[in-house]
Structure 1
Amino acid sequence: MHEARMPGAAATGVALLLGVATVQWLPVLPSPAWSALPGLIVLWVSLRWPRLRLPALVLLGAAWAIWRGTLALDLRLPRDLEQRDLDVVGTLSGLPQVRTDAARFVLDVDQASLGGKPVPLRGRIRLSWYDDAPVLPACSRWRLHVRLRRPRSLLDPGSFDGERSALEKRIAATGYVRADGINRLLRHGRCIDGLRDRIARGIGAAISDPHDAALVKAFSIGDTRGLDQDDWEVARANGVPHLIAISGFHVGVAALFGVALVRLLFLLWPRLALRLPRLPAQAAAALLAAGFYGLLAGFGLPTVRTLLMIAVVALARCSRRAIGGGQTLGLALVAMLLADPLAVLSAGFWLSFVGVAFLMLCLEARPRGLRGFLHELSAGQLVMTVALLPLTLWFFGEASLIGALSNLIAVPFVSFVIVPCALLGMLLLLLAPPAAAPVLKLAGVLAHVQWWLLERMATWPGAHWYLPEVSPWALLLATLGALWLFAPRGLPLRGLGLLLFLPLVRPVAHPPTEGGFQAWVLDVGQGLSVVVRTRSHALVYDAGARYPSGFDLGEAVVVPALHALGIGRLDLLMVSHADNDHAGGARAVADAFPQAARYAGEPARMPLPMKPCRAGQAWRWDGVLFRVLSPGSHTTGQRNDRSCVLAVDGAGGRLLLTGDISSGAEPAVAAAVGPARPTVLVVPHHGSRHSSSPSFIAAIAPRLAVVSAGWHNRFGHPHPLVIRRYAEAGVPLLDTATRGAVEIDATPTAAPAVAATWRQRAPRYWRE
């Protein structure tokens, strides 16, 4: 009778990963008490039925993820402390980001009080300090007067899930520093971030061009504070954000640097080999160099994964054991999941581990020497581009068709030229500062040349490739297709793996039929943006705000939503009026879709040229009638009443978009709207008390009303009085602040109705 073999490292890692990942689809976490039961089951099954150890490990991974997820959720700010002024004491974590409008930083809180009484708040909070923030030295300890809220993000088609990111990073609350005499520096501190800041300042002093200095900081220590949105656009267009964020390859270069130092040491003192074996010494030096560089780089996920793999290889070398690539990656995966199962919430986790796994699978039998290196470099970029395409589209909604070529140029140049030059400059900054300047200047010149080329390539066709929102099944099929396509030689019909990419790149579209339309009231916080689509046309009504910090909801929400919804062409951009919360994002939308016609209620105040919007304008798309009801040629009064009001009449009903009109303009709109029809009303002025008069609600008689407002906004929208008016009229009222984006479907044979709300469409346990 043969004893059952223990699962290998790779199988163990995959089993744990399956359990951990399954938990991330749950809408609510089970009680952590249940996590103890699978642990006992795993122990019992492992002892009694060794062949069932892998399923038992899946259960163990799920139990571990439930327990750690519960602990992370428990760190969040108690709900009764939201929007209240607290006094906190804590230490700066990471490198503060200083912009013209505010300083932004993370504070590790160890004391918190309300009115002098301690409150249960510990952990990391993300803060903004407006109005001439003081210098915030890294590692410094502060006492601050703050106003906080639980992490909450906008939820829209194709949007970034900030609540998921906050949980993964253990952010307990977000908020801002209040002006108060209590705010003061308690003491300076020492930590690795202080050293990172010192190196960043040294690089900035040595390189005269701020942008070149910012690139060198990003390439060398992962300090991306000096990069703007245009830089990230260039990086995404070329598929090289991993190089900016410190790739695992950079850590490998640092490890090779450690190996080279030991080899030089043994070359200078050969007798050292009599006291210390060379291979274990090289392994230890590689781990130390990689570990120190990982500290300087901020310990991103690719960095940690590479460090774990180097640690496994180093331990194997020191114990004189042979270990394969699959075992190395498997042990690194196990270590990562045991240390932090919530790492699976990060895109970097999947791109890092899946990318390395594909490289090991597809390039295992490469030639030796220089020819093998060149083969791995060229073929590796193709493998990574195609194999990671499904995950890239899943997480980011876009991919780069020129990414393989860009990486073929950028990876060796950045990793083997710029990074070693920057590493040498960093070392000289610490040991002999005067000698560092020429080396860092050279790194700046090299970074400038590299970025110049990437900027040119970013304008090539295919640099930005957008696809509609990816379904889980399309992701799974495309990943299996990549495995089939790049499988080792001998597997028949490998080219057919491309067929499994079809659901990903050619998803089934469900456009409205003739006479019907779809609309999405997007979640843009305290603002408004609505997308309307007929069978072959689309328009955007308002585009959200743009803030002094540079955060643009047109760029961050509206444009990604259009791509996620499969809208490749925009016919019309209509901005109700020029207030920032409606017009701020218009330029970003216009830049993304330059062919779209542009109309506005206040064209003279708009941030870009637009034609005037006037009552009486009308057109028909695919059996759907669009009518402008206001402003009239003689509209006067407050600026809000100059909002462009649009009625969308399909065969089954109407959508009424009202901008920010007040009760003063509502009678004219009610008179112009026409015969009563089943209507969905986008509530005027975010639910202000000076709009949505009872007579207007009675005249429109909507079946449903949708209000676009920010969560806990300072205006108190929608006003309780307005909420009561709609309730008394028997009109259901949906709020994007609590529902996320709201999708409305109007078929030719049915009245407009809610098809989905994004906060309830795919509930996850980390969402508020």
Structure 2
Amino acid sequence: MERFSFGVLAAAMLALWLEQLPPVIPLAILFCAALLCWRHTALYCGALAYLLSLSLQFAWQMQSVQQIVAEHSTEVCGQVVSLPRQFVESSRFILQLSDDCAEKQQIGAGGRLELRWYANAGEILPAIKAGQHWRLPVLIKPVRGLANPGSPWREANALVDGVLAVATVSSATGARLLQDTPSVRQQLADQFADCCLQYAAYPLWLALTIGERPFSAELWQGVQHAGLAHLLSISGMHIALLFALCLMFKPLLAQLGLREPWRSLSLWSLALGAAWFYAALAGFAVPTLRAVLTLSVVVLLRLLWHRASIWQFSWLVSACLLLLWPFLLLSFSFWLSAAALAVLALLEWQHPQQPGIPALLRRFLLFQCGFSLLLLPIGLLLFQGIAPFALWVNLLVLPLMTILGIPLLLLLFGIMCLGFSVAPWCWQLLDALYWPLLWLLDWAGQADGWWSLPALPWQNALLLLPALLLFWCCRGRWQLAAAALWLPISLPILLSDTAHDVSDAPLQLHILDVGQGSAAVLQQGDAALVIDLGPAYGPVSATRQVLLPFLRYQGIRQLDYVLISHDDSDHSGDWPTLRARYPSAQLVSDIRRLAPRFHCTDLPKQWRGVRLQAIRAGSYRPEPANEDSCALLLDTGHHRVLLPGDIGAREDALAASTGPVDVLVLGHHGSKTASSLRFLQALQPKLALVSSGYQNQFGHPAPETRARLSLLQIPLLNTADSGYIRLDLSDTTVRYQLFRPRRFARWLENSVTDAETVVANE
């Protein structure tokens, strides 16, 4: 069984690097042939079993996606399986497809749709509840997330969660509520909100009980900076904690007169049932489902009196999860949990439990330090950064939450679930208990609590692990060897934080993937200049969801200027949110309601050696529209880059003010009314970029614009296809890198060359 488990894990690692998944039929034949010689080929059987499971499930997923997306405009039936996120003008929820519509077969039944319902003018959306069955007319699109460094991989997450496509309700009049039976989870969530919504700690309580995280942007930033995301979401730790609390009822069962083996059977069944109920309350999110499946294997082995070492158990559980759920290889949390389980096994072997309170405290400190150090390479590899507060914050908060905070919350919530009333003073005392955690998260959110290391090669992160293992597990001369190994690997990490002090830091222009909108960042070291903030409407804010995480990921601490080209929501974004994070940033714009002090042309003529020219093609307007956009010309001495905003009809005046350029960001997202043939001939760009949404309703970039670029042999890069685009402007040639093709799992993303060179103007 160990060899079989090794084969499964090895195949999962290999699958991350495959260009294409192997076909199902040859894999099945090889697997059947390997079974005939199981004794000698268990390793190969495990590898083939995983690849076969992955290929089969991926083929079914892609077939269902193609069928349902081909419908485009259709009616779907299903059950709401998530707690809806209700806003004033929209609602978002997950719909699990089912054959509720008797008149036609539901394509992709059993799969899920990520649904969005927008209210028309004067329309009031119905109250969507989890558990309801709906028949809805929808427009369907494939899942396509924004691809930026430091942002979630939406396509991979959709595979893990079983989401087939994204759908938008096309007509409220055609929607039909087939069955109005809210789920138990929805009823408990409503009951919890009625009694506890007014308490400051309610968002944390909701995250720890129902699995929903209605965190503000400031609170979520504090959670990330403090390294407490694992504590404030229902995960394996919380499931295991509840499981352990249930095992404490063993003396009670003994007093009831139960004898072995019935006492152990009842105790383990009770604990496992409570764990499954807790996971159900969290909506069977990926971490919770993974945790209860692991505990189920533990209980099964216990009841069968099968003894296995923690190493054997770790390999077996990981292999079983991957076979049942092969898309877990795309989940960062799975690999983090697998690494944490391995670290736990190592620490348990090195520091066995001893009696006494001092020994217990010493063991807790050693485990926390060991986890923080030994998981450091995995965190660097997966998240390209470090939360420096994580170690001591966990040492302060984890005992308080584990011993008091979470058990008391689960106790009060359990009493409420059983139908009993909880006195208000109980919730008030619990709120006071959580006050230090809230204060700590608020402080961490305002502090510079994230060390971003995006330039660290992944090989360096992996090579840190052997050095840490030698240092932690060995003594004497082996620790000296670990220090010698650590120094050349960690030196780039130690020096990376001082890169912003170097005057010759590379100059880069980042074109962010914000969908149908525009946002760009000119960066040198830890300082930057931002041009446009991306779209913001309703609950969607690219400023908060894309731009701010990117600035943090890049380690940008100093934001000097923010230029907003004109007053359209796909460019003007969410300035108050950005200003709250960078209060010293100066906003330069013609939009008077946002920038009463500085006009467009007040932008400095130079920034860190780059000549800046802000150009207003028309006359000044306090609420500038498309043609009044403030264009920006960047001149590094080697390269000239033009960002024209949404200018179209006034392109001739703009061209007269700029002259030839090396790189052109197409105006108005590549609209057919912009980037005329005469304009392109006047600028003579060697490379054109466009920021547009995937399958956007406007058809940008327009076929006419593509034809003009093709006629002049100007290559075009589109964020809808390539994701985020980085231009390196420090060299004599313009080098660009595309983000989307550089991800793992090439079989999920199209493989495209990730770096090209364009000859600069002489």
Shorter-chain TM band: 0.7 to 0.9
Residue 241 of structure 2 corresponds to 253
Aligned-pair distance for 1:118?
Answer: 5.5
Residue 3 of structure 1 corresponds to none
Q: What does the per-residue CA deviation read over 1:597-622, in whole Å, with 9 as the maximum and x for residues that have no partner?
A: 4322x14133x666222189622634
- The answer to whether 1:659 aligns with 2:645 is yes
Q: Pick one of 320, 323, 329 that aligns with 1:338.
A: 323
CA separation of 1:487/1:75 partners in 2, compared to 1, >3 Å: closer, same or farther?
farther
8 A Cα contact 1:575 1:586, kept in partner: no
Letter matched to residue 127 of structure 2: V
Residue 326 of structure 1 corresponds to 311
Aligned-pair distance for 1:14?
Answer: 4.2
Q: What does the per-residue CA deviation read over 1:480-530, in whole Å, with 9 as the maximum and x for residues that have no partner?
A: 333333335578124456434445565699999979853232211111122
Aligned-pair distance for 1:311?
Answer: 3.0
- The answer to whether 1:163 aligns with 2:155 is yes
- Summarize the alignment of residues 743-762 of structure 1 with structure 2, pairs less than 5 Å apart: 743-746=726-729, 748-750=731-733, 752=734, 755-762=736-743
- Inter-partner Cα distance in structure 2 for 1:332 and 1:587: 47
**What secondary structure, in the 3-state scheme, does the structure 2 residue paired with 1:40 have?**
helix
- The answer to whether 1:672 aligns with 2:649 is no
Long gaps (5+) in structure 1:
1-6
Aligned-pair distance for 1:589?
Answer: 4.1
Residue 4 of structure 1 corresponds to none
Letter matched to residue 62 of structure 2: L
8 A Cα contact 1:109 1:121, kept in partner: yes
Q: What does the per-residue CA deviation read over 1:345-368, in whole Å, with 9 as the maximum and x for residues that have no partner?
A: 122212222112112212432342
CA separation of 1:485/1:592 partners in 2, compared to 1, >3 Å: closer, same or farther?
farther
**What secondary structure, in the 3-state scheme, does the structure 1 residue paired with 2:601 have?**
coil
8 A Cα contact 1:555 1:588, kept in partner: yes
Q: Pick one of 2, 7, 11 that aligns with 1:19.
A: 11
8 A Cα contact 1:382 1:404, kept in partner: yes
**What secondary structure, in the 3-state scheme, does the structure 2 residue paired with 1:26 have?**
coil
Q: What does the per-residue CA deviation read over 1:354-403, in whole Å, with 9 as the maximum and x for residues that have no partner?
A: 11211221243234233343233322222222333333344444432111
8 A Cα contact 1:647 1:656, kept in partner: yes
- Summarize the alignment of residues 282-297 of structure 1 with structure 2, pairs less than 5 Å apart: 282-297=267-282
- The answer to whether 1:175 aligns with 2:167 is yes
- The answer to whether 1:628 aligns with 2:632 is no
8 A Cα contact 1:532 1:540, kept in partner: yes
8 A Cα contact 1:312 1:331, kept in partner: no
- The answer to whether 1:709 aligns with 2:701 is no
CA separation of 1:445/1:134 partners in 2, compared to 1, >3 Å: closer, same or farther?
farther
CA separation of 1:527/1:425 partners in 2, compared to 1, >3 Å: closer, same or farther?
same
8 A Cα contact 1:743 1:755, kept in partner: yes
**What secondary structure, in the 3-state scheme, does the structure 1 residue paired with 2:478 have?**
coil
Residue 575 of structure 1 corresponds to 564
TM-score of the pair, normalised by structure 1: 0.87
- Inter-partner Cα distance in structure 2 for 1:533 and 1:609: 26
Q: Pick one of 129, 148, 158 that aligns with 1:137.
A: 129
- Inter-partner Cα distance in structure 1 for 2:365 and 2:20: 45
Q: What is the Cα-based RMSD across aligned positions, in Å?
A: 3.3
Q: What does the per-residue CA deviation read over 1:709-755, in whole Å, with 9 as the maximum and x for residues that have no partner?
A: 112222332223322332333322322212222233445533x3x52
**What secondary structure, in the 3-state scheme, does the structure 2 residue paired with 1:94 have?**
coil
Letter matched to residue 747 of structure 2: Y
- Inter-partner Cα distance in structure 2 for 1:317 and 1:118: 44
- The answer to whether 1:532 aligns with 2:522 is yes
**What secondary structure, in the 3-state scheme, does the structure 2 residue paired with 1:65 have?**
helix
8 A Cα contact 2:566 2:626, kept in partner: yes
Letter matched to residue 300 of structure 1: A
- Inter-partner Cα distance in structure 2 for 1:609 and 1:380: 55
- Inter-partner Cα distance in structure 1 for 2:545 and 2:624: 30
- Inter-partner Cα distance in structure 1 for 2:229 and 2:186: 22
Q: What does the per-residue CA deviation read over 1:634-662, in whole Å, with 9 as the maximum and x for residues that have no partner?
A: 68996223322222223433211111112
- Inter-partner Cα distance in structure 1 for 2:468 and 2:53: 30
Letter matched to residue 698 of structure 2: F
CA separation of 1:637/1:328 partners in 2, compared to 1, >3 Å: closer, same or farther?
closer
Residue 316 of structure 1 corresponds to 301
Aligned-pair distance for 1:440?
Answer: 4.5
- The answer to whether 1:209 aligns with 2:201 is no
Letter matched to residue 11 of structure 2: G
Aligned-pair distance for 1:568?
Answer: 4.9
- Inter-partner Cα distance in structure 2 for 1:36 and 1:344: 21
- Inter-partner Cα distance in structure 2 for 1:443 and 1:73: 47
**What secondary structure, in the 3-state scheme, does the structure 1 residue paired with 2:143 have?**
coil
- The answer to whether 1:559 aligns with 2:559 is no
- Inter-partner Cα distance in structure 2 for 1:118 and 1:313: 40
Aligned-pair distance for 1:151?
Answer: 0.2
Q: Pick one of 419, 434, 441 that aligns with 1:454.
A: 441
Aligned-pair distance for 1:681?
Answer: 0.8
- Inter-partner Cα distance in structure 2 for 1:133 and 1:459: 37
Residue 184 of structure 2 corresponds to 195
- Inter-partner Cα distance in structure 1 for 2:95 and 2:278: 24
- Inter-partner Cα distance in structure 2 for 1:59 and 1:610: 66
8 A Cα contact 1:127 1:177, kept in partner: yes
- Summarize the alignment of residues 313-462 of structure 1 with structure 2, pairs less than 5 Å apart: 313-364=298-349, 365-369=351-355, 370-435=357-422, 439-460=426-447
Q: Pick one of 198, 210, 221 that aligns with 1:221.
A: 210
Aligned-pair distance for 1:683?
Answer: 0.8
- Inter-partner Cα distance in structure 1 for 2:450 and 2:603: 39
Residue 146 of structure 1 corresponds to 138
**What secondary structure, in the 3-state scheme, does the structure 1 residue paired with 2:536 have?**
coil
Q: What does the per-residue CA deviation read over 1:401-433, in whole Å, with 9 as the maximum and x for residues that have no partner?
A: 111222223222223222222222233223342
- The answer to whether 1:36 aligns with 2:18 is no
- Inter-partner Cα distance in structure 2 for 1:636 and 1:249: 55
- Inter-partner Cα distance in structure 2 for 1:495 and 1:475: 16
8 A Cα contact 1:142 1:185, kept in partner: yes
CA separation of 1:723/1:459 partners in 2, compared to 1, >3 Å: closer, same or farther?
closer
8 A Cα contact 2:185 2:281, kept in partner: yes
CA separation of 1:256/1:42 partners in 2, compared to 1, >3 Å: closer, same or farther?
same
Aligned-pair distance for 1:166?
Answer: 0.9
Residue 719 of structure 1 corresponds to 702
CA separation of 1:502/1:57 partners in 2, compared to 1, >3 Å: closer, same or farther?
farther
Aligned-pair distance for 1:460?
Answer: 4.5
- Inter-partner Cα distance in structure 2 for 1:648 and 1:554: 23
- Inter-partner Cα distance in structure 1 for 2:598 and 2:330: 45
Long gaps (5+) in structure 2:
751-762
- Inter-partner Cα distance in structure 2 for 1:197 and 1:211: 21
- Summarize the alignment of residues 462-477 of structure 1 with structure 2, pairs less than 5 Å apart: 463-477=449-463
Residue 639 of structure 1 corresponds to 625
Number of positions where the alignment pairs a residue of Structure 1 with one of Structure 2: 738
8 A Cα contact 2:385 2:450, kept in partner: yes
Aligned-pair distance for 1:584?
Answer: 0.6
**What secondary structure, in the 3-state scheme, does the structure 1 residue paired with 2:258 have?**
helix
CA separation of 1:70/1:20 partners in 2, compared to 1, >3 Å: closer, same or farther?
farther
Q: What does the per-residue CA deviation read over 1:548-597, in whole Å, with 9 as the maximum and x for residues that have no partner?
A: 11x32123222333444555544432222232211214444444444444
8 A Cα contact 2:629 2:645, kept in partner: yes
Aligned-pair distance for 1:162?
Answer: 0.9
8 A Cα contact 1:150 1:172, kept in partner: yes
Aligned-pair distance for 1:697?
Answer: 1.6
- Inter-partner Cα distance in structure 2 for 1:213 and 1:636: 42
Q: Pick one of 266, 291, 307 that aligns with 2:292.
A: 307
Aligned-pair distance for 1:59?
Answer: 4.2
8 A Cα contact 2:6 2:43, kept in partner: no
Q: Pick one of 522, 530, 549 that aligns with 2:512.
A: 522
8 A Cα contact 2:381 2:462, kept in partner: no
- The answer to whether 1:692 aligns with 2:679 is no
Letter matched to residue 59 of structure 2: T
